[in-house]
Amino acid sequence: MTDVLVGNVAANRSRRVSITAAVLTALAQTSLFFAAGDVGDGVTLAAIVVLGVVTAWVIGDSVRQRRRHAAEQREQAGARAVEAERLRIARELHDMVAHSIAVIAVQAGVGRRVIGTQPDEARTALANIEDTSRDTAAALRRMLGTLRRTDASAGPAPRDPAPGLGDLDTLVARSAQAGVEVRVLRQGELSPLPPDIDLSAFRIVQEAVTNVIRHAGAGHCDVGIRSDGDSLAIEVADDGTGAGDGPGTGGGNGLTGMRERVSLLGGEFAAGPRPDGGFLVTARIPLPVAAR
C-alpha cells in the first residue's frame, strides 16, 4: 500500500517532494523491522522494503516525466499552429491590401494629372478608387470579423469563400484600371483544384501583377497557368525595367510571401530579371493524386 502511495506522489508531485516522501517512507518501515529485535531478518526485510519503495518511485517518476513531455509537445504544437496562422493572416493581408493600394495609388495619380484638363477621365479614376476601396474595406471587415471570434466552444470560425484562379478576370480588370494590360493564357485542366492550391495560385499571380504595377514600369504583363496533371505551373512575365519588389514594399515581403506559399505546398519558386528585359516569376506546385 505504501509503495502505491509513493508511486502516486512521484507521478503527481515535484521530484523534490516525491524523493522526500520515498525516503521518509523507507525509513519509517525499516525502523519498524529493526525495532522488532532480529537484526538479520530486519536487514533482509528492510532491503525488500527499500527495493519496493525505489521501484515505486521510479515508475511514478517515469509517469510524471512522460506527462510533462506530452504537455510540452502539446504546447509546442499549439505555438506552431499559432505561428502558422499568424503567417497565413499576414500573407493574406499583404496580398489583399497591397494590390488594392497599388491600384488606388495609380488611379489617384491619373486623377491628379488630368483633373484640370480631362474631368471625365478624372471622375472615372475617382470612381475606380471608390470601388477598389469599398471592396478592400469589405474584405478587411470579413477577415477582422473572423479574427474576433474568440469563443472556442463555437468551433472554428467560418471563412468566406477564398479567391481562386476563377477570379483572375477581376484581377485583369483592376490591373487595366492601373494602366497595365494583363493577358492570361490557361493550358490544361485547371479545375477543380484543391482550395489551398487554388488560393495560393491566385495570390501568387496577384502579388506578381501588383509588383508589376508598383515597380516595373511595364505596360503589359503575361500570365501563364498550365496544368500537366502532375503539377500546376505559374509564370508571370512583364516588359518593364526588370524590378521585382522595390523600395516601399517592406523589404521584399511580396516575393517572400510568394516563396512561402509555394514552399508550404512542396513546390518550387523562382523570380528575377529576364535577360531580354522585364521580370519573370515562376512557380511549380505539385498536385495531389485526387486532383489529377
Domain presence at residue 127: no
Mean pLDDT of 166-175: 89
- Of 45, 74, 103, the one marking the end of a domain is 74
Last residue of a domain, one of 33, 59, 74: 74
Question: Per the structure, how many domains does the chain have?
Answer: 2
**Contact of 216 with 240, CB cutoff 8 Å:** yes
User: Which cell is 193 given?
Assistant: 483544384
Q: What is the pLDDT of residues 244-289, one digit of tens each?
A: 555 443 445 678 888 888 998 899 999 998 888 889 999 999 998 7
Q: Are residues 70 and 181 in the same domain?
A: no
Structural domain that includes position 177: 170-292
DSSP 70-86: HHHHHHHHHHHHHHHHH
Q: Which of 74, 107, 135 finishes a domain? A: 74
The per-residue pLDDT for 280 is 92
Q: How far apart are CA 145 and CA 149, in angstroms?
A: 7
C-alpha cell at 143: 477577415
pLDDT at 40: 58
Share of the chain above pLDDT 70, in %: 85
Which strands form 268-273's sheet, in the order they lie side by side? 181-187, 220-227, 231-238, 279-286, 268-273
